[in-house]
Amino acid sequence: MDQYTRQAVAVDMATGNNGITSTSARLIGSIPFDSVQALSATLTTSDHIPKRYIRPEAESEPVIIPGDDEEDIPVIDFHKLLDPELSDAESSKLDLASQNWGFFQLINHGVPEEVIQRMISVVEEFFKLPLDEKMLFKQPPGQLEGYGQLFLFSEEQKLDWADILFFYTSPLHLRKVGLWPTNPSTFRDAFDEYSMEVKKLANCLLGFLAKNLGLDPTEMTGMLENGAQFVRINCCPPCPEDKKVLGVSPHSDSSFLTLLLQVNDVQGLQIRRNDKWLPVKPLPGAFVANIADAFEILSNGKYKSIEHRVVTNTEKERFSIAAFHGPNTNATVGPHPELVLKGEPLYKSIDYESFMKLRFETKLDGKSFLGRMKLNR
């Protein structure tokens, strides 16, 4: 029994797996899934994909063509945020990006390159495994964590053209590390180190966002102590009819802040901008960051969570790692009192654990979930 399995067993015995991890994970019963990666390997260019994956909206909605007047998403230099002489100017850029875009690329972020490369390596190695070996780490019945797919509600629903690995990584005492892959043998160490480094970065960035809103950064620090982090590793295999499928359905993220790492050079992320889809071109070594629903709520609508989706490629797999960050389970998700003008909150207030339960009960469908949180809608 390795150190991670011992940790998982100890947690199960000590906590009974209570808290947001187990509560949320059992909201959706496991529905048997077909590996999209395995399906993709059997298709030829003349084959038609199963109807459950065909999404008419994938073809019908307009996409901004490279070279149009639309600019790229903003770029924020994290090193400048930390520099006393440059911080104010870069913080202003961050403030405008959060208000007007909800998305930005984060460069010079300080996560060690060797940590990133180890994580990239184990992700690519895992998805090269034969299906029967990957299935050893499939989602247990009634759980969200493990290898499989998310937001499966029925046998009839439309499916995303993707396989995923999904795990809760913070708070540490609620990790189910016994579900983490042991093949490749370095997966657990690499995943542990990566998730910890990315969480430190997210917490620091959220402090700057809070300060830009005029809030006390130490209050944000308190909300983030033992705060939630969950990580989704996405594999979008090639598809011979790529214009007819979606790798990830349109949605906005639910928590405070998402940091996305593009694992390989296959693009696919698109954000909704001026009623069109704008392709995101990740910069080498950068994180793509976005404001999520709970932070839009906290800001009372000043900062925006943006609808986004993932499209596929005819020839290559696309890999990405999305790390989602939120407050601790005791925190309240609601407009901050200091940001409510004339006593007019735009959103409901709810504890974070209940907020996430509602999220996992709701299929990915644009910004419909955030709409449920609005007052006077």
CA 196 from centroid of its chain's CA atoms:
15
Answer yes or no: is 326 within a domain: yes
Question: With the C-alpha atoms ordered 155, 161, 163, 167, is the resulting torsion angle positive or negative?
Answer: negative
For residue 168 the two structure tokens come to 């809760």
Report d(CA 292, CA 202) in Å as an integer.
12
- Domain contains 128: yes
The CATH number for 168's domain is 2.60.120.330
250 three-class SS: strand
Q: Is residue 105 part of a domain?
A: yes
- What pLDDT does residue 47 have? 75
User: What local confidence, expressed as pLDDT, does residue 134 receive?
Assistant: 96
Number of domains in the chain: 1
Range of the domain at 341: 3-372
β-sheet with 248-251: strand ranges across: 248-251, 308-310, 269-273, 276-279
Query: What's the pLDDT at 140?
Result: 85
Rounded to an integer, what distance in angstroms lies between the CA atom of residue 177 and that of residue 5? Answer: 6
Q: Is residue 377 part of a domain?
A: no
- In this prediction, residue 176 carries a pLDDT of 92
pTM of the model: 0.89
Per-residue tens of pLDDT for the chain, all 377 residues: 344 433 333 333 333 333 344 434 444 444 556 899 999 999 877 678 899 899 988 888 899 876 655 678 999 999 999 999 999 999 999 999 999 999 999 999 999 999 999 999 999 999 999 999 999 999 887 788 999 887 665 666 788 999 999 999 999 988 999 999 999 999 999 999 999 999 999 999 999 999 999 999 899 999 999 999 999 999 999 999 999 999 999 999 989 999 999 999 898 999 999 899 999 999 999 999 999 999 999 999 999 999 999 999 999 999 999 999 999 988 999 999 999 976 789 999 999 888 887 777 666 666 667 877 888 75
pLDDT at 141: 79
Tell me how crowded residue 356 is: count the other CB atoms within 10 A of its CB. Answer: 24
pLDDT value for 179 = 92
The CA distance from 303 to 96, in Å, is: 9
Q: Identify the pLDDT of residue 69.
A: 56
DSSP class of 178: G
